[in-house]
Structure 1
Amino acid sequence: ATCGVSIVLQEQSPDIQAGVDHAYEERMGDASDEDLDTQGAGDQGMMFGFACTESDDLMPMPIWLAHRLAQRLSEVRKAGVVPYLRPDGKVQVTIGYDGHRPVSLETIVISTQHQPNVDIDTLLRPDLVQHVIDPLIPSDIDAEDVRVLVNPTGVFEIGGPRADTGLTGRKIIIDTYGGMARHGGGAFSGKDPSKVDRSGAYACRHIAKNVVAAGLADRFEVQVAYAIGVATPVSISIDAFGTERADPARIRAAIDEVFDLRPAAIIRDLDLKRPIYQATSSYGHFGRSEKSFAWERTDKADDLRRLAT
């Protein structure tokens, strides 16, 4: 064994649970007849959702390509195409832009664990270029001068928790938009959907993706903020970065009409009480084609287009 694993579970504070199970609106007598007003947000904080037209999945190109490369790296290892690879690894991609349009592939960094006695320059790097990188370079991106860095520190034989421990809540930027959009600071992993750090961010992505899919903007960000124990968000704001094709006030009104950002409504609409979260632990939470990722559906695009135009 290369690491020890301790599992320590305890009940959530009853003070917190009281606010989740019986929202502020219910306790103040302001709740509607709907059960959706009875579940409060599991924490305070702000969450963001983002979408853009840089890729078919409406994700920023750098993080989209980095995740695809990471998936491919795992696939060629498991299939035995590059048999000397080992599980640990990560990818970083740098893209050159003309305004908001990705035009050139500048740098790819792949750090991957491997068996002993593997030469980086004569074996590992050529294999990764052939089997991982070349099949995935987008045809509309100039990659003629791309710089490929493979294991820049040299040998990478020891990996996993034995080599580097200390993660807390996973890396929130690689889990989302790769720094192209803002982040409220709350991690996703380890949290059930009553925690709006997770469910609120998923809902915001769902909104942003549908706005862009509807052709209402080329880039779109949604921000929502919650108070702990309160069902209704304390703030919702949007930004199309000047790319909107409809009046922002009409887009906002359409969002209010189509989407319900109360925690219980998010959980209901995205069906978040399913055992779907293991798949989110690698390759990002957004820009995925799996049917279980309900927040990636563009099922509300027609409604938004009809209401906003």
Structure 2
Amino acid sequence: MENKNKQHYLFTSEVVSPGHPDKCADIIADSIVDKLIIGDSTSRVASEVFVAGKHVVIGGEVKSNTKISDNEYKQITTEALEKIGYFNNPNFTDEECLKPQNVDVQVLLNQQSPDISQGVDQEDGEIGAGDQGIMFGYADHETENYMPSAITYARMLMEKVYQYALANPSELGVDIKTQVTVNYGCKENFEKSQPQNIDTIVVSAPCVSSMNIETVRALIQKLIDETGLPSDLYNKDECTIHINPTGKYVSHSSLHDSGLTGRKLIVDSFGGYSPIGGGAQSSKDYTKVDRSGLYAARYIAKHIVAAGLATKAVVQISYAIGVAKPTSVAVDTYGTYTRLNDDALSTFVEENFALTPNWITKKFNLDKPSADTFLYADVAARGQVGQPDYPWEKLDELEKFQELR
């Protein structure tokens, strides 16, 4: 008789730490967004960042009453890198790891095109979409915060190892990657969002040159065991674990791998469990629907699942540049809806939620980032969705959805 425990239907998600060069680019870009919007809530920003070696290039378009000099852009950059964990760490050489004092910052920012701003800032106070595009929000009931399993556990592992690296710079660096493969047993379980066990874990973290690979692997294995992965899913003895699988990993940061804004969209969203629109969130102000539309779509999808209307849901929203009202709203529950089908849910969302950029901005206070609420740079570091303290993760309209059951 076949042992059901040997049945496999696997799904994998990866996560990178704030110290990964692509994340460094995102965090620097959103540190600029924070600075500009906090100084002028009507700022329009699309500032891409490229990190290569010791060079940081900031380019794109800005329209703001907040004036920032080239020296201030360099200060924003170096402060962001220091906060990430790239301070003047004597445990790594200047050839092994980036040091903020060695960074050269080039600023290539232009004014936003008036052809865009005439459609975004409208006379009636409405905000037209800052671009055309499609956005997808997703939720399922696999974890407490209605996020998929593999990316949730990969994030937990990354955060555990990253925090250890921050606290122990004499041992580990902050350019960390994690990956988790979840076994659903069969496709039907995957479709029903019923994970069976964690099949494989991969962790790569840089260490100082004086540590041997056996010591590093023992340390990270201990951190994995202490992460708090669900005991019903994680069994150390039955899980395949790869720790620094290529061997000793010392040289890291942008000195050894360039970084660019918007290159970690799957990491930032749902770990591959859902389609994505293709547009990045980091580097953009709240009128850019690549950012605000994702937040709204995730908000709606999370409510649908939390209200018990489906066990998983993806919500698509689309926009036309300069037009406030979405050009489409569609709900897909993958056949897991309980009472109302996808057509009815889509109609309900359209009729009850405006989903215009202005509505989204006011709903989540996207024009008011602060240390007391949220900062875009922090969102870039932690993932655009799935953190319960984000305004767009609040289940404040749950009763309205529950009335549909």
TM-score, normalising length from structure 1?
0.89
CA drift of 1:163 comes to: 1.2
CA drift of 1:18 comes to: 0.9
Greater CA deviation, 110-119 or 177-186?
110-119
1:113 is matched with: 206
Structure 1 residue identity aligned to 2:381:
S
Cα gap change, 1:106 to 1:228, in 2 (>3 Å): same
The answer on 1:17 being equivalent to 2:117 is yes
2:174 is matched with: 87
CA drift of 1:196 comes to: 0.2
Structure 2 residue identity aligned to 1:124:
V
1:116-265 matches, cutoff 5 A: 116-120=209-213, 122-143=214-235, 144-248=237-341, 249-265=343-359
Structure 1 residue identity aligned to 2:293:
G
**CA distance in structure 2 between the aligned counterparts of 1:277 and 1:251, rounded to whole angstroms:** 31
The answer on 1:295 being equivalent to 2:392 is yes
CA drift of 1:133 comes to: 3.9
CA drift of 1:274 comes to: 2.5
Structure 1: stretches of 5+ with no match in the other structure: 27-33
Query: What SS class does the counterpart of residue 19 from structure 1 fall into?
Result: helix
Query: What SS class does the counterpart of residue 77 from structure 1 fall into?
Result: helix
Query: What SS class does the counterpart of residue 177 from structure 1 fall into?
Result: coil
Question: Which digits, 9 at most, give the CA deviation of each residue in 1:113-136, with x for residues without a partner?
Answer: 11113222x211111111234432
CA drift of 1:142 comes to: 4.6
CA drift of 1:140 comes to: 2.3
Query: What SS class does the counterpart of residue 118 from structure 1 fall into?
Result: coil
**CA distance in structure 2 between the aligned counterparts of 1:5 and 1:112, rounded to whole angstroms:** 27
Structure 2 residue identity aligned to 1:302:
E
Query: What SS class does the counterpart of residue 304 from structure 1 fall into?
Result: helix
The answer on 1:267 being equivalent to 2:361 is yes
Greater CA deviation, 274-283 or 225-234?
274-283
Query: What SS class does the counterpart of residue 155 from structure 1 fall into?
Result: coil
Paired residues, what number? 292
Structure 2: stretches of 5+ with no match in the other structure: 1-98, 370-374
1:71 is matched with: 159
1:31 is matched with: none
Greater CA deviation, 180-189 or 134-143?
134-143
Cα gap change, 1:112 to 1:62, in 2 (>3 Å): same
1:96 is matched with: 183
**CA RMSD after TM alignment:** 1.7
Structure 2 residue identity aligned to 1:199:
S
Query: What SS class does the counterpart of residue 209 from structure 2 fall into?
Result: coil
Structure 2 residue identity aligned to 1:123:
T
Question: Which digits, 9 at most, give the CA deviation of each residue in 1:280-301, with x for residues without a partner?
Answer: 12231211122xx111111111
**CA distance in structure 2 between the aligned counterparts of 1:116 and 1:257, rounded to whole angstroms:** 60
Structure 2 residue identity aligned to 1:66:
A
Question: Which digits, 9 at most, give the CA deviation of each residue in 1:190-221, with x for residues without a partner?
Answer: 01111000000010000000111111110000
Contact 1:68–1:283 (Cα < 8 Å) also in 2: no
The answer on 1:5 being equivalent to 2:133 is no
Structure 2 residue identity aligned to 1:287:
G
2:87 is matched with: none
CA drift of 1:70 comes to: 0.9
**CA distance in structure 1 between the aligned counterparts of 2:231 and 2:156, rounded to whole angstroms:** 15
Structure 1 residue identity aligned to 2:231:
S
